[in-house]
């Protein structure tokens, strides 16, 4: 049997405020197989970003890991030194964020920033790194990559900047790409293009992806399996199609029920949004339900 690429086991994260530690993640466990696209979905504040930052070793005070293991290729990332973690980041595990402007250096051309990845992580000389940066821009389908490499981030549209982030993230052919709401800040039409690009490039290269989104539509179009987070817990996990066809946790049913449907328009012609709280009867009971695994994992009952 293939070993998982990422195996998060009983991950607990707490926020220390004053002399009290508030639980933020409560024993979150999931696995991502090599080359697999796995989605984490849940509403704002459910703990998706904290999970991805913990995997990247980028949690900042007052947050800290309070228990569990994060095994990457069998090695517990929580045991690595800061230096070892820095070497892993950008190289074996890379991340793209929601807002590329905050991740890109405004004072440096995008070509230079991509080239730095090749110099830092692959020990390439500067001339070769710059040629590779132009190739990397071409691989994320940036038109006129030679000319664009000389642009500063503010000279590009949001969609192009996100392509630059993808080029940087994939520069060293990582085993795992973490994409945290990668298209939320983009126009709807550009969103679809960028999602397709991430999906295609990762499939071509065999890169596994951890997709984070509050948008079930994004997860449905990109991921093979999905984990649903609520209030710091993973409440349900399943193959994407099975989860959509047969949501079993009340919170998942609420999330799916709150999706605007094509054709359901209000009298003003807008798509009707359903409030999730009109579907879920009692939020206080949601975390009492145990984690719901795929049916096959329960012994194959129908």
Ligand X SMILES: Nc1ncnc2c1ncn2[C@@H]1O[C@H](COP(=O)(O)OP(=O)(O)OP(=O)(O)O)[C@@H](O)[C@H]1O
The residue ranges that bind ligand X (CB under 6 A) are 15, 24, 42, 44-50, 62-63, 214
Q: Specify whether the CB–CB gap between 205 and 180 falls below 8 A.
A: no
| Pick 151 or 213: Cβ nearer ligand X | 213
**What is each CA distance from 122 to 29, 130, 143, 292, in whole angstroms?**
32, 13, 26, 42
| Pick 42 or 57: Cβ nearer ligand X | 42
| Pick 55 or 169: Cβ nearer ligand X | 55
Cβ 12 to ligand X, closest distance in Å? 13
Cβ 95 to ligand X, closest distance in Å? 13
Q: Specify whether the CB–CB gap between 175 and 92 falls below 8 A.
A: yes
Cβ 1 to ligand X, closest distance in Å? 31
Rounded-to-integer distance, Cα 121 and Cα 223, Å: 28
Rounded-to-integer distance, Cα 34 and Cα 6, Å: 8
**Chain centroid to CA 86: how far?**
19
| Pick 49 or 91: Cβ nearer ligand X | 49
Cβ 257 to ligand X, closest distance in Å? 19
Dihedral sign (CA 235, 52, 240, 293):
negative
Cβ 194 to ligand X, closest distance in Å? 18
| Pick 31 or 49: Cβ nearer ligand X | 49
Rounded-to-integer distance, Cα 241 and Cα 136, Å: 33
């Amino acid at each position: 049997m293939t070993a998982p690429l990422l195996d998060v086991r009983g991950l607990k994260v707490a926020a220390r405020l004053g002399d009290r530690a508030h639980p933020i993640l409560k024993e979150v466990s999931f696995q991502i197989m090599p080359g697999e696209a796995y989605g984490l979905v849940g509403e704002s504040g459910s703990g998706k970003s904290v999970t991805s930052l913990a995997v990247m070793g980028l949690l900042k005070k007052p947050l800290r890991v309070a228990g569990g293991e994060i095994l990457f290729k069998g090695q517990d990332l929580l045991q690595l030194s800061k230096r070892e973690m820095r070497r892993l980041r950008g190289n074996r595990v890379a991340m793209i964020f929601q807002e590329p402007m905050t991740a890109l250096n405004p004072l440096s051309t995008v070509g230079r920033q991509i080239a730095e990845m090749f110099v830092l992580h692959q020990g390439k000389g500067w001339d070769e790194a710059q040629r590779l940066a132009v190739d990397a821009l071409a691989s994320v389908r940036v038109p006129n990559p030679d000319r664009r490499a000389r642009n500063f981030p503010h000279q590009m549209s949001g969609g192009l900047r996100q392509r630059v982030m993808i080029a940087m993230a994939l520069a060293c052919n990582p085993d795992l790409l973490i994409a945290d709401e990668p298209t939320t800040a983009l126009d709807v039409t550009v969103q679809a293009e960028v999602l397709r690009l991430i999906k295609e490039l990762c499939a071509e290269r065999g890169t596994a992806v951890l997709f984070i989104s509050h948008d079930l539509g994004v997860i449905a179009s990109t991921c093979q399996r999905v984990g649903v987070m609520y209030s710091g817990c993973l409440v349900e996990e399943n193959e994407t199609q099975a989860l959509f066809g047969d949501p079993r946790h009340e919170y998942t049913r609420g999330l799916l029920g709150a999706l605007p449907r094509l054709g359901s328009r209000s009298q003003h012609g807008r798509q009707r949004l359903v409030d999730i709280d009109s579907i879920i009867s009692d939020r206080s009971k949601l975390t009492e339900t145990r984690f719901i695994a795929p049916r096959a994992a329960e012994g194959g009952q129908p």
